[in-house]
Amino acid sequence: MIEFKNVQINYGDFVAVKNLNLNVREGEFFTLLGPSGCGKTTTLRSLVGFVHPSQGEIFLNGENITSLPVEKREVSMVFQSYALFPTLDVYENIAFGLKVKKVPKQEIDREVRDMAAKVDLSEEQLKKKVSELSGGQQQRVAIARALVLKPRILVLDEPLSNLDARLRVQLRRELKNLQKQFGITAIYVTHDQEEALTLSDRIAVFNKGVVEQVGTPKEIYSHSETEFVCNFIGDINHLETPVVKELNEQMGGGYLEHERHYVRMERVHTRQWRGGKEASVLKLTGRVEDAEFYGVYTKYSFLVNGTVIKSIEREDGRAPHNIGDEVDIYIDIHDVMTYRERHSYAVDQ
């Protein structure tokens, strides 16, 4: 539905986005994820029409929209700062775009009330000034204002980042439900990997103006194609040389060399587990350095051959490890992610 073809975007001499090729499907929740300054917002702005590529083309349903003015694109944007009109009431804010489009008054009234109900804004709240609302309510207004125009695409730039953690989780669930309910294509920008993993159908991971990987949350997480992606998505153990040497010896040598190796925390086990196939499970010995209890799980740090390895263990009623305990640590070699410079392959592929 949306296609970026060899798109490059410059600010003067600076190349903010390089050779971007992306395909977003109809009805998809598609996220642009990456650290600050990697070009996510610039990509989004080029889709809305606020910036123009120096090279390449952007297509929407097969139509070349690269030079189409903003108002002809039928793309609605929700900003981090909400960008609402603080002196107007909620009703007027939601109605604004429809008024500009000269939609008849009765129809505006029906659409605004209908949309307010869908995003959980009460009749009372419709009469309030935007400045009298909480951050979460303001974001609901911003989403309603965008959706009421029935855009072909909804683009959202870090819309939840100004909210507290609990509200962020609640609103992101609501946002996903609304997006599916409306069957709208959503392009979402965030630097928060958890938000990207929980919301998205697919994710594009950006690094310094380049897309390093496009995939489903599971693909991005479990089969990170580059070292950058594997580090950016979730906490991970980088296996230091002494550990790699020991694992290598257990494998009979020549296996884990000259590359960089990582293993996710939940793939480090301190008890034999059913998933591990005997031959590929390697055993290390470590001393518990630190234990952080989070309720659902405990995060452990072990000292192994002078290096630190971390694990996450679900709370399952078994006795916890105490600081100073010596424990066996099991890692399945298939769970080790291996990277050679910026390219990668999984050991088992």
Q: Distance between CA atoms of 43 and 8, rounded to whole angstroms?
A: 9
Q: Count of residues binding ligand ATP (CB under 6 A)?
A: 12
Q: Distance between CA atoms of 23 and 325, rounded to whole angstroms?
A: 51
Name the minimum Å distance from CB 233 to ligand ATP.
16
Name the minimum Å distance from CB 58 to ligand ATP.
15
Name the minimum Å distance from CB 36 to ligand ATP.
3
Is there binding between residue 16 and ligand ATP (CB under 6 A)?
yes
Is there binding between residue 46 and ligand ATP (CB under 6 A)?
no
Q: Distance between CA atoms of 121 and 151, rounded to whole angstroms?
A: 20
Is there binding between residue 13 and ligand ATP (CB under 6 A)?
no
Cβ–Cβ < 8 Å for 205, 246:
no
Name the minimum Å distance from CB 52 to ligand ATP.
12
Name the minimum Å distance from CB 146 to ligand ATP.
19
Q: What string marks each residue from 307 to 336 as x (binds ligand ATP by CB under 6 A) or -?
A: ------------------------------
Is there binding between residue 42 and ligand ATP (CB under 6 A)?
yes
In terms of DSSP bridges, do strands 343-346 and 2-11 run parallel, antiparallel, or are they unpaired? unpaired
Is there binding between residue 41 and ligand ATP (CB under 6 A)?
yes
Alpha helices in the chain (DSSP H): 40-48, 90-100, 105-118, 123-126, 135-147, 165-182, 193-199, 217-222, 227-232, 241-250
Q: Is the dihedral of CA 303, 248, 238, 158 positive or negative?
A: negative
Is there binding between residue 36 and ligand ATP (CB under 6 A)?
yes
The window from 39-47, 66-74, 291-299, 312-320 that contacts ligand ATP (CB under 6 A) reads 39-47
Q: Could you give the 3-state DSSP secondary structure of residue 72?
A: helix
Is there binding between residue 83 and ligand ATP (CB under 6 A)?
no
Single-letter code of the amino acid located at 281: V
Name the minimum Å distance from CB 15 to ligand ATP.
9
Is there binding between residue 215 and ligand ATP (CB under 6 A)?
no
DSSP states along 265-331? GGGEESS--TT--GGGEEEEEEEEEEEEE-SSEEEEEEEETTEEEEEEEE--SSPPPPTT-EEEEEE
Nearer to ligand ATP, 191 or 264 (CB): 191
Cβ–Cβ < 8 Å for 30, 200:
yes
Is there binding between residue 34 and ligand ATP (CB under 6 A)?
yes
Member of 6, 25, 26, 37 binding ligand ATP (CB under 6 A): 37
Site for ligand ATP, rule CB under 6 A: 11, 14, 16, 34, 36-42, 191
